[in-house]
Structures are given as C-alpha cells and as structure tokens.
Chain A
Amino acid sequence: MREFSVTHPVGPQAARLSEMTWVLTWLTTAVCVIVVGFLLYSLLHAHRRGNAVGGPAVERKLWWWVGGSVSATTVILFAILIYNLSTGRALAAFADPDALTIRVIGHQWWWEVEYRDPLPNRRLTTANEIHIPVGRRVRLEVESRDVIHSFWAPNLHGKLDLTPGYTATTYFRADTAGTYHGRCAEFCGLQHAHMDFFVIAMAPPDFARWFEAQLKTAASPADTLQARGREIFETKTCAMCHTIRGTEANSGIGPDLTHVASRRTLGAGTIPNSRGHLAGWILDPQRIKPGAKMPPNQLAASDLHALLGYLESLK
C-alpha cells in the first residue's frame, strides 16, 4: 500500500480515477503497439520487396488501410470521449449537503486547515494535517491568500487549484483508515517542493476524540520550565505570526500552533516533528527550507530549552 500514489485509491473517486488510468494505459499501449507494428512491418515489407510500387490498385489498397486505420482511431476516440464524460459525471455526482466541510487555505508554503461549523465554538483551525472520519463525505473548499497552489492527495482525488479570488469546491471520502500524503501541485515559488500535507483518515470515534481534543485551548504549563517557555513564546517574535489558543499569542500569519506537538512534521512535511528538528527549525528555518517566511531566531540555550519544553507539551 503506497500512501502517495494514483493507482492505490482509498476512496470512491480515486478508485474511478485509478480505473480510468489503467483503462487508458492499456488502451493506448495497445494502440501504440499496433501503430509501431504497422510501421515496422511496412519498413520490413518494403525493404524485402526492394522496389517502390504505385498505380491505381496499390493506391486503392492503401486507401483501404489508411481509411480503416483512421476510422478505427475515430471510433476509439469517441469511446474515450464517452468514457471521459461518464467518469466526469460520476465524480461530480458526489455532492452531499451533510458532508463534513473543511476549508483549506493555501499559503507560501503551508496549508491552513479550517473545520467549518455553524457554531463558532465548534470551528477549528489547524495546519498541514487534515483529519477525517472514514466513510463520511468531506466537502473541501479551497482558496488562496497569496499565489496559486494546487491541492493534491492522489489516493483520494484529483487536483484542485487554489486561485486567489476564487473558492473551489470538491468532495471526497476515504474508505480505509490510514495516513495519506498530499502535495502542492502548482508551482508557487521558492519552496514549492516542500509544501506537503497529510490526510489522516480515522475511525469515526477516533476522529470525534481527536476533534474534541483539538477544540480545547492549549494545555497550561505543567511546570516552571514550560511556563518560562510560554512566556518566551508570548514575548519574543513567535507571537507576531503564530497563534496558540489560550495564550497571548494570537496572530494569523503563520500556522496555528495550539496543538503543534500532535503533528507529524514541521515545515509542511519538510522534517519530522522531533525535539532536535524543532530546535533547528526555530533557530534557523532558512537552512532547512530556504525562503520560508519564518525568520531565524536568536535564543539563549536556556530559553530555547524552555521553549522546546513548552511546545512539546502542546499535544
């Protein structure tokens, strides 16, 4: 099972797309073999015969062959067109008013993820990880606040562009629990290569538990070291861009870090979320992801230690 592949679908749309991929691949392979076969046969035949031929009989025969080949091509193209339309219809017929609505906002070079809800206190903002319940349709709304990005989780569905000024919508569903990889597919600047996300499909009770946990504000510091870490976060440059709900840090430029310790990676899939990597990221993100919007930070060793302790507590 590959967690990032067109041909390993885990949802109904990706399954149709995977099927289409195989149908088109085998069909075009067959056509290619036939055409190249014609070509090689013609060369061999002409080489063996040793002289050029012409005249009305030859022309007629060739017209039958060329006409037949072109007709066959046309029939195949019509079949592909109809197959294409029916697949497109099936994919579009997936709308569902009761779907879980998730809005994804593209930024250079990370993903803001909002769980929409009519009740304001049930809304949730996180980053770079999209947790969804298995078996439930998800309504995905995408938009961009800077340049064009493209949302692509090939195991679930095809791409959808995030264009400034537009909100695009699609639906998908995961039928198997697991962690699936996604990437930005539209060139979006320096760190387009490092703009990944994860779709984590969970059993519905697990999802509900996760969601309730994420709704909570950040855990209070458990000891003085963590309290010191929180103070550093609130008073140094961190708070100018990031939010940690339940603290003074309340800015929307960078990813929401309320539960940052629960995430798998840092820098939108660039490095694993471990203490060492986190320390390196805080001190100099430019060495890890050149061009990222986060500036380097000069912190005393003890301050860094305290900050790491606090951030690691934000499960």
Chain B
Amino acid sequence: VITREAEPGVSRHNVLERTWGPPPGMFSWFRTLDHKAIGKRYIVTALIFFVLGGIEAAIMRMQLARPENGLVSPDRYNQIFTMHGATMMFLFGVPVQIAMAIYLIPLMLGTRNLSFPRLNAYGYYTYVVGGTLLYVSFFLNMGPDAGWFNYVPLSGPQYAAGKRIDVWAQTVTFTEIAALAGAVTLIATILKQRAPGMSLNRIPVYVWSVLVTMFVILFAMPSVALGSFMLAFDRLVGTHFFNAAEGGDPLLWQHLFWFFGHPEVYIMFLPATGFVSHLVSVFSGRRLFGYTAVVLSIIATGFLSFGLWVHHMFTTGLPQLGQSFFTAASLMIVIPNAIQIFCWIATLWAGRPRFTTPLLYAIGFIVLFTIGGLTGVMVASVPFDQQAHDTYFVVAHLHYVQIGAFVFPLFGALYYWFPKITGRLLSEKLGKLNFWLFFIGVNVTFFPMHFLGMMGMTRRVYTYLPESGWGPLNLLATIGAVTIAVSMLVFFYNVVTSLRSGVIAGDDPWGSFSLEWATSSPPPSYNFRDLPFVAGLYALWDREPDTPVATGLRDDRPEILLTTVTDATPSARHMHPDPSIYPVLSALGTGSIFVGSIFTPWAYPVGAALLFPTLLKWVWKWPPLPGERTESEEPA
C-alpha cells in the first residue's frame, strides 16, 4: 500500500472534492458530515456562549462593585450566577474542547474525517438545542436559579416550584449526550484512524490529551446523567431520591454531581495542557522535553481526577478518615501537573523562544496555573478548606485555574490554529494587546478575591453591607473585569478584521511539527490528497525529503484507511457514511422529547415513538445495487 510520492494530479482534487465536499442540493448545510464544517460551527457556537457567559459575569461584577447596589434583584442575580456557571461549564468549557478536537484531530492524525461522522453531527446539533433551550428559558425569566451545582433540596420540588430547575436538568442532559457522542467519535478516530506509521509513541501530545479526556468524559458523564435523571424524576413524577423526609438523601446528589463535576474540570484542562505542549514546542523551535513523562502525566491526571470529588464536600461533616483520603488524592494530582510544568519550563530553557501571541498565552498560562494550582493545594487541606470553602477565596482559585489553565491555552490555540482554519493570520499587534489586557485583567479581578475570602466574603451573595469592609476590593475586581471585557473586544475585533484582511498564512506559517500543517490552509474537504506517512514523533520535522505516502484508497468513493491500534499499520479500508439529514432531525427529535418532558412525562413515550423512524432511517442501509460492494471493510 505504501509507495513513493504519487503522481501529482490536479484532476484528483476535483474527484476528491466531489467525494468529500459539501453534499449537493437543498439542506446541504445541515447534511454535511465534514469534521471541519461541524468543528468550525461548534467552535463558533461555543464562543458565542463564552460571550454570553462573560456578559453575565460582567453584570455580576457591576452589581458587586459597591455595597447594597441595586442593579439587579436577588432573583435575577441568582439566575445570572447560575447561568454564568452553567454556560461556562456546560455550554462553553466542555463543548469548546470537543469542538477544537473535532476540527483538529483528523488533521493531526492524517485522516479524511472522523469515525461515526453522523453521531458527531448529531452531538453538535443536540448541543445547539440544549444551549438554545437554556437561553430561551433565561430570556423568558425561566432561567435556573439554584447554582450550576444545583444542590438539592433547594432545587427539589419543595423549594423550587416552576420549571426553572427542569430547564437546568434537561440542558445538562443535552450536554451529556453531546459530550458522549463527541467522546465515542474521537476515541474511535484516535485509536483506529491514525496515519500509517503513527504508532502510540508517535502520537502528538495534544492527541494524547484528547484521548485521555474523552475517556474521562465516558466515565464522568454517566454520573451526572444519573443524578439529573433522578432529580427530574423527583420533580416530575414524585420520587424521593433526594428527599430526606422520605428516606432519600440530599448528600447523594452531591456525590453524584461532584463525581462528574471534578473530572469536568480536567475535561477542560487536559486538552489545554495539550495545546500548551504544542505551543511551547513549536515556539521554542525544539522538541518537547520529556514527551513520555508528559504523556504519562496526562494519563495519571485523568485517573486521579476521579479521586478528588469529596474535596467539594469537606464541610458536610463526613468522617475525617475518609476525607483524608481525598486530601491525599488532591495533593497527589499536583505531582503529574508539576511534571508537566517543569517539562515546559525545561523546553523553554533549551529552546529559542519566539515571543508570538500563542507563546505569550502559554507563558501566561504557566504563571496563572501555578498560582491557581497552589491555592488548590491550600484548599485540598480539610481544615483550611473549612475556612475557605464557599468564600471568594475559592472563587479566586477556580477562576485562576479555569481562566489561567483553560481559557489562556485556548486563546493561545486559537491564535495558533486560526491561520489553519481560515487561511489568514491574526494580527500579532492586536494579539499582544489582547494578551496583556487579558493577563492584567485576570489578575486585577481575581487576585483581590483571595483577600475577600479571608475577610469572610461568601460566594453567591447578590449584595453585601457597607460595614463589611469588602467594598474597595470588590470595586478593584470590577475594574479588572472591565479590563478583561476590553481585551475580549480587542480579540473579536482582531478576528473580524483578520478574517477579511489578515496576512495570508500559507500551509505552515509557524514552522510546526504536526500533520495538520502539511496540508493547505484552510484544508480541502478531503484534508490530504495523499494520506501522509509518519516517520517520527514530530511528523513534519522528522520528514525525509522522499517520505512515502499511503495510497490505495479510491478517490471516487469516501474511503477511510483504518490502522492498527498500537503500531498504526494499515489494516482495512472503510466505507465512510454518506451525508445525511437524519442526524439533525434526530437531534431535533431528541430535543423535543427532553423539552417536552419539562411539561409532561408523556413526552417520553410519545417523543420516542416519533423519534424511532428517524433513527431507523439514520442507520438503515438499503440492499446493494447490482455490482455494488456489500462489504464496507476489506483488507487494504
């Protein structure tokens, strides 16, 4: 199968474009299964939710800028902080990482599309329906108001009448489905569709981080799915899972929620460390120091992330010995992350740093993550946490970690991959302005919150009294938030202007090493004319002048090359599914079931009956035409 460089042929472009390009006819936009098309939409949608969540944060900071401010009512404030948390975690954090992976992973692996592309499209549309549900409800004054963590019994039928909490529960259900669809798709793609030669020890760090993250999703999401279903049952059909008066247990909710909720943090964080490994390596002009150590650290973090959840419950009065286990686990997870940090610093030391915007974001990440990680060490201690828990100290900690260790790498990644996605570079000048405003803004906003926490300011309060003495630091935090808002305006201005008039990027503007830079910017619908062959961990840096390419796939049919899990030797050709309208219809069907179930449990049986034919059409394969192959897989 593997031969020398195939004959270049312009006409092949046309054939491949016909096979892999946008489907013809009506609803083409909804039928496409191209991971780049879905990925771009996914990224843009997630960024829209990021902006909405940011606006909510800004309103909260305005309300808290001075004591006894009357900008928003307590009811509105509680909705807004719940929306902020739910948006950033469920509609931005996890989805944007899945979105980036959907766009980047097939390109990095040197394949033409994802496995299960219909499931992938279905996941995206489900997410859109869920996000729309949440925001339509919010604008109808039906937004959830019991916090993104939604503790029972405050969120139970007794204390939260109306439909607000049901909206929360169903939004979470949508997010779970979308995340699980993304996880299954990406795991299969990474394990089975790597370019020939990309054995396990040649997988780029980002791909490893995505693989581990998707497994974390696979094990974490069912826990919150169970929890939200039990809550929905308590609310809609009168079960008593969480009702202490009837033998239920409110703490059960906290266990189920945090068993998902803590790994959730790592779902956002781990791919971000993958971004940083790429940025540090590329902009140091050097191989990453300690590739094996970094990959093992990512895997270890994935495992350990499941042993931390009780550190959200240190004040519930659980037995002390049990709590100590979770302290130990929370401290232990520092070790793999310390390994990563020191490996990045070592790489920077041994490299020749180019201080581009992506590298600035990676460096800013290391600084902010160090601060957030160290306050994390503090709150991992049970006794200290009994003071810090549910105060602004924790607000400071979690935003240093979430913004520092997830949003900063994400922005670095957006600056880095923007030219690949759009064909044009973002302005470096605006990028640096964006970075410095953001970096300063984050510190001015969140550093004072450590002190506010120690001064006793509790979380989730819509106002505070003047005599509390919290006014000046809160005002400072609000000034910082304004700085962040300005930096975001700079970013989006940069995106809009660069889309029109940015510098043309070319295939590889940065001198990068991974396969996505081996194709044009933006990549063609089929990604690579000839599937690349990988000869080393740094595919492009290790490429010999006459590196072979993989051939043997037909251009006129959507064929995908499957390779073995460990060594990535070619094993089969796989017929890729055709574009289909059924994923989007199924997503709408699923959506109407869940939205309907907010109002009546009959939505489940009725909706399922209506959804069934759609799902049937999705998977139905008509009998083959005479002469057509029936086998979808065959030896390559």
Contacts and interface: CB of A to CB of B under 8 A. Distances in A.
B52 to A, nearest CB: 22
B371 interface: yes
Contact of B74 (A24, A47, A191): A191
B289 A88 contact: no
B352 A51 contact: yes
Interface stretch (A73-81, A118-126, A200-208, A307-315): A73-81
Given A84-B327, A164-B250, A45 B349 contact: yes
Most chain A CB within a 10 A radius of its CB, from B151, B334, B341, B350: B350
Nearest to B78: A190
A99 interface: no
B382 interface: yes
B115 interface: no
Contacts of B74: 190-191, 193, 290-291
Given A85-B324, A189-B159, A28 B352 contact: no
B338 interface: yes
Contacts of B331: 77, 80-81
Contact of A166 (B317, B353, B389): B317
Interface string B334-359: 11001101110110111111000000
Interface string B104-123: 00000000000000000000
A163 B450 CA distance: 27
B332 interface: yes
Query: Which of the four size classes fits the interface of chain A?
Result: 35 or more
A36 B250 contact: no
B436 to A, nearest CB: 16
B509 to A, nearest CB: 19
Interface stretch (A153-161, A244-252, A273-281, A296-304): A153-161
Most chain A CB within a 10 A radius of its CB, from B73, B386, B468: B386
Nearest to B379: A24
B334 A62 contact: no
A62 B387 CA distance: 40
B374 interface: yes
Interface string A48-72: 0111111000110011011001100
Interface string A171-195: 0000000000101111111111100
A92 interface: yes
A190 B251 CA distance: 21
A35 B461 contact: no
Given A74-B335, A88-B382, A159 B387 contact: yes
Contact of A17 (B352, B386, B468): B386
A152 interface: yes
Contact of B317 (A80, A157, A161): A161
B459 A190 contact: no
Contact of B456 (A50, A74, A181, A290): A181
A25 interface: yes
A148 B289 contact: no
B334 A159 contact: no
Contacts of A190: 74-75, 78
Contacts of B284: 46, 52
B462 interface: yes
13 contacts: A4-B456, A39-B348, A39-B366, A43-B348, A49-B352, A77-B334, A83-B381, A154-B387, A158-B383, A163-B251, A163-B316, A166-B244, A193-B464
Closest 4 CB pairs of A and B: A158-B386, A165-B244, A168-B317, A193-B461
Interface of B: 73-75, 78, 146-147, 151, 153-154, 158-159, 244-245, 248-251, 284-287, 289-290, 293, 315-317, 320, 323-324, 327-328, 331-332, 334-335, 338-339, 341-343, 345-346, 348-353, 363, 366-367, 370-371, 374-375, 377-378, 380-391, 453-456, 458-465, 468-469
